[in-house]
Amino acid sequence: MAKPKISADCCTGCGICIDTCPVDALELKDDIAVLAKPDVCDGCGSCAESCPLECITME
């Protein structure tokens, strides 16, 4: 199952992906979104779709 890979160089910490995640798998750490709970991530891709800067890929 694909999981989100977040580019730390690209992420501005806007939090849109965190608000969009239906299982609360993402968190902000040092103003960068991270996959904090990979075990609960269901690979839906809503975070990647919601990122306005396209910093998230599903891999």
The whole-angstrom separation of Cα 36 and Cα 28 is 9
Residue 9 CB contacts under 8 Å (≥ 6 apart), including other chains: none
Q: How confident is the model at residue 57 (pLDDT cuts 50, 70, 90)?
A: very high
Q: What is the DSSP secondary structure assignment for residue 16, as one 8-state letter?
A: H
CATH code, domain with 54: 3.30.70.20
Instruction: Determine the pLDDT at residue 48.
Output: 98
Residue whose structure tokens are 């975070």: 47
Quote the percentage of the chain above a pLDDT of 90: 100
Average pLDDT for residues 29-35, to the nearest whole number?
98
Displacement of CA 5 from its chain's centroid (Å): 7
Q: How confident is the model at residue 26 (pLDDT cuts 50, 70, 90)?
A: very high
Instruction: Determine the pLDDT at residue 50.
Output: 98
In the chain, the number of structural domains is 1
Residue whose structure tokens are 């160089």: 9
0.85 surpassed by pTM: yes
Tell me which residue range forms the domain holding 19.
4-58
